[in-house]
Each structure stands twice: as C-alpha cells, then as structure tokens.
Amino acid sequence: MTVFFGFGLADSMFPDFCSLERSNLTVEQLRHYIATSNVKMCVNPSHSLTLEVLATRYGVTVTVPEQAPLVKLVAGDTLLLMAVSGLPRLEGRHEYTAPEIEACVFRFARWDVS
C-alpha cells in the first residue's frame, strides 16, 4: 500500500477496473498522515506557493520534488487530496496577498483504491 499526497485527480491515475472510497479528512488527520506515513508527494514546483499557504495556515509542510511523479494507483493505495478554492492564478506576480490567503478555502479528502 502506498500513500500519495496531491492536488488533483486524473482518470489515468486509476486502474481500468477499480472501486474508490472517498472520505473527508480534517487538517489534523492530514498532518498525522504526512508525519507518520511514508507519503509520496505528487505535487510539482508550480504548486510551491499554494503549499506555502498550507504550511503557514495549517502547519502542514510537504516536500516538493523537482519534478512531479507519474502516479499509477493500484488496489490498496491511498490518495490524500487537497482542494483549494479562492486563490487566483498568479499571472504577472509571484505571491498571494494577505486578503487572498485569508479568503481561500482548503478541503482535504482521502481516496482509497480497491
């Protein structure tokens, strides 16, 4: 069983035939998984600023690999998923403003593959 952490789902991540079970996670549960499991990060350097907001707001720090891995989930794997709404695309600037950070909403979920 492998545990992954990422931002999004893609159909290509899943086996052709599988069942998925989704459950909401609290930030405390996410923090626990990252601290106690050998979580493989499926984020990329373009996510760095959003991950900084995660660390600042919730104290959840993740390591960003130089290149996002290609994820192919198999039965028994778990995907910890973070969804953020309210953060605009950073076009022509390199950081979020305090009001943008304050207004954004984070949601966390666990997807189990069987």
Q: What is the pLDDT of residues 86-99, one digit of tens each?
A: 777 767 666 777 78
Residue in the block written with tokens 């998925």: 20
Q: What is the CATH number that goes with domain 3-8+19-113?
A: 3.40.50.11170
pLDDT at 62 over 80: yes
DSSP H/E element including 56: helix 48-58
Q: What percent of the chain has pLDDT over 70?
A: 95
pLDDT band (50, 70, 90) for residue 47: confident
Sketch the domain layout of the chain as residue ranges: 3-8+19-113
Fill in the DSSP letter of residue 71: P
Average pLDDT over every residue of 35-39: 86
Stronger pLDDT, 9 or 21, i.e. the higher one: 21
pLDDT of the residue at 93: 65
Give 83's contacts (C-beta < 8 A, 6+ positions apart): 7, 106, 107, 108, 109
